[in-house]
Amino acid sequence: MTVAIDWRAEASRLTIRDKAFIGGAFMDAANGATFDCISPVDGAVLARVAACDAQDVDRAVKAARDAFEDGRWADRSPKARKRTLIKFAELIEKHGDEIALLETLDMGKPIANARGGDVRAVTECVRWYGEAIDKLYDEIAPTPKTALALITREPIGVVGAVVPWNFPLLMAAWKFAPALAAGNSVVLKPAEQSPLTALRVAELAAEAGIPPGVFNVVPGFGETAGQALGRHMDVDALTFTGSTEVGKFFLKYSAESNMKTVSLECGGKTPNIVFADTPDLKAAAKGAADGIFYNSGQVCDAASRLLIEDKIHDAFLSEVAALAKQYRPGDPLDEKTKMGAIVDATQTHRVLGFIDMGKTEGATLTLGGNQVRTETGGFYIEPTIFDRVNNSMTIAREEIFGPVLSAITFKTPEEAVKLANDSKYGLEANLWTNDLTKAHKIARALRAGTVTVNTRDGGGIEVPFGGYKQSGFGRDKSLHALHKYTQLKTTYIQIG
With beta carbons less than 8 A apart as the criterion, state whether 372 and 381 touch. Answer: yes
- Scanning 99-107, 117-125, 319-327, 416-424 for contacts with Mg ion by CB under 5 A, the matching segment is 99-107
Q: In terms of C-beta density within 10 A (0-12 exposed, 13-18 middle, 19 or more buried), how is residue 72 classed?
A: middle
Nearer to ligand NAP, 203 or 428 (CB): 428
With beta carbons less than 8 A apart as the criterion, state whether 432 and 275 touch. Answer: yes
User: Does 266 participate in binding ligand NAP (rule CB under 6 A)?
Assistant: yes
Q: How far is the CB of 399 from ligand NAP (least distance, A)?
A: 5
Q: Which residue has the closest beta carbon to Mg ion?
A: 106
Contact mark string toward ligand NAP, 473..492, x via CB under 6 A: --------------------
Q: Give dist(CA 254, CA 238) in Å, integer.
A: 9
Nearest to 17 by CA among 43, 40, 56, 46: 46
Amino acid identity of residue 6, one-letter, is: D
Nearest to 128 by CA among 174, 95, 164: 174
User: Does 189 participate in binding ligand NAP (rule CB under 6 A)?
Assistant: yes
User: Does 387 participate in binding Mg ion (rule CB under 5 A)?
Assistant: no
Concerning whether 300 is annotated as a catalytic residue, the answer is: yes
Catalytic-labelled residue, pool 103, 124, 192, 265: 265
Concerning whether 265 is annotated as a catalytic residue, the answer is: yes
User: Does 197 participate in binding Mg ion (rule CB under 5 A)?
Assistant: no
229 three-class SS: helix
State the number of binding residues for Mg ion (CB under 5 A).
Answer: 2
Q: Give dist(CA 101, CA 83) in Å, integer.
A: 27
- List the single partner that 106 binds among Mg ion, ligand NAP, none, CB under 5 to 8 Å by kind: Mg ion
Phi/psi at 296 (5° precision): 55, 30
Q: How far is the CB of 415 from ligand NAP (least distance, A)?
A: 26
DSSP conformation letters of 68-122: HHTTTTTTS-HHHHHHHHHHHHHHHHHTHHHHHHHHHHHH---HHHIIIIIIHHH
Q: Tell me 132's DSSP state.
A: H
Catalytic-labelled residue, pool 300, 319, 382, 399: 300
Q: How far is the CB of 246 from ligand NAP (least distance, A)?
A: 3
Q: Tell me 269's DSSP state.
A: -
State the number of binding residues for ligand NAP (CB under 6 A).
Answer: 30
Q: How far is CA 28 from the centre of its chain?
A: 27
- Scanning 40-48, 135-143, 162-170, 199-207 for contacts with ligand NAP by CB under 6 A, the matching segment is 162-170
Nearer to Mg ion, 184 or 193 (CB): 193
From the list 222, 334, 361, 438, which residue makes contact with ligand NAP (rule: CB under 6 A)? 222
Nearer to ligand NAP, 276 or 394 (CB): 394
With beta carbons less than 8 A apart as the criterion, state whether 272 and 307 touch. Answer: yes
With beta carbons less than 8 A apart as the criterion, state whether 239 and 175 touch. Answer: yes
Nearer to Mg ion, 165 or 468 (CB): 165
Cβ count near 156 (within 10 Å): 21
Nearer to ligand NAP, 104 or 471 (CB): 471
Active site residue ranges: 265, 300
Given the rule CB under 5 A, which residues bind Mg ion? 106, 193
* Residue ranges that bind ligand NAP, judged by CB under 6 A: 162-166, 171, 189, 191-192, 221-223, 226-227, 230, 241-243, 246, 249, 265-268, 300, 399, 401, 427, 467, 471
